[in-house]
Amino acid sequence: MEAKRLKEKIESYRDEMVKTLMEFVSINSVNPAFGGPGELKKAEWLESKLKDMGFEFERYDAEDERAEGGVRPNLVVKAPGKDSSRTLWFVSHMDVVPEGDRTLWKKDPFEPYIENGRIYGRGSEDNGGSLVASLFALKALVDLGIEPQMNTGLVFVADEEAGSERGIRFLINKNIFKEKDLFVVPDAGVPDGSFVEIAEKSILWLRFTVSGKQVHASTPNLGLNASRVAMNFLSELDRLLHEVFPMKDESFSPPESTFEPTKRLSNVDNVNTVPGSDISFFDCRVLPQVKLDDVLEVARSLAAIHSRKTGAEIKVDVVQRHDAPEPTPKDSEAVTRLSKAIESCRGVKPVIGGIGGGTCAAHFREKGWHAVVWSTIEGTAHQPNENKRIEDLIADALVFAFMMAE
């Protein structure tokens, strides 16, 4: 009966939820690590929204001179429940990644629009849809006069896309959370809502700086082409990493470690100059049974070989490193509560497993706290024309509300 009331109430919010997500998308909050303004304007918009909805909240600002206003805001909403000794937290993030090549977008990525039952725009799936779903889930309980089974908290954090130092890690150090609390991080999933994530791979971001000698392209013999050295080195590194670390774990999706060449910085602006510098990056998502120090050793050893062979200097730097913590136990209360809600509200049997990682859940697991990652998504995050199905927005809100109430 409670589920039926919740479903009817959340369905009544449909238009307001759509409007709220579109407003979320329209505010550029690209992480300053990628050259964006940060979360200040989005946080201020959320503050106004929370006040209009009657929620009390606190704001915690981490300093960051790169960001607009010099701060990275984090918002914490808390509602009392029957068990006041612990809190069920829902953690979503306000920052987004850059839009990439704008020519691949149908429309401006920060001017949201609706098409075929989906809301399009940067941040609609990652992570605005889940943020809005959690907000209206709590609103449903309040409007229906349903007291949560335990204290319920919503956390809207900064900096998730670039390591969380000024986001969830900042809040953990502020002692906002307790050991007995439960954590839901709605930041990954599958289209039918069946996948519950309890483990993440290790993360290693590497920067490779190749230094050669810049010369006129008509006299390459007088210089040392850093781009050619980099291309040969990176190509061999890509092959070698997959060769040395081929192991699989079918509980993860994908089941193997991934080593992806990603960002590459501009070198020279004209065609007729041989570049003397090349800077490239790898994003490595590594199975927990593989040591990141071993991955680093492979990269540095190969860089030394190519340096001796070519005469170029190849420097290997760690941009970000996060060693995989112990997974959340499959029989933990966080998993069983979420699984019950999924089965009751969605009619699907939950599948428990791991992902490539990078969510806030990993930082809770580092503390030994039980966190689960779940939402209904189609995997458009970080892509051109990112979008969120409106039906999934409504369905996820129901699952969150059911967890709060039951």
List residues bridging with 277 in a β-sheet.
Answer: 211
Backbone φ, ψ for residue 188 (5° rounding): -165, 165
Choose, from 95, 99, 200, 278, the residue flagged as catalytic: 95
Cα separation of 196 and 352, whole Å?
A: 5
Question: Would residue 95 show up in a list of annotated catalytic residues for this protein?
Answer: yes
Question: Would residue 11 show up in a list of annotated catalytic residues for this protein?
Answer: no
Locate 90 and state its tokens. 């829902």
Choose, from 39, 160, 187, 200, the residue flagged as catalytic: 160
Residues marked active site are found at 95, 160
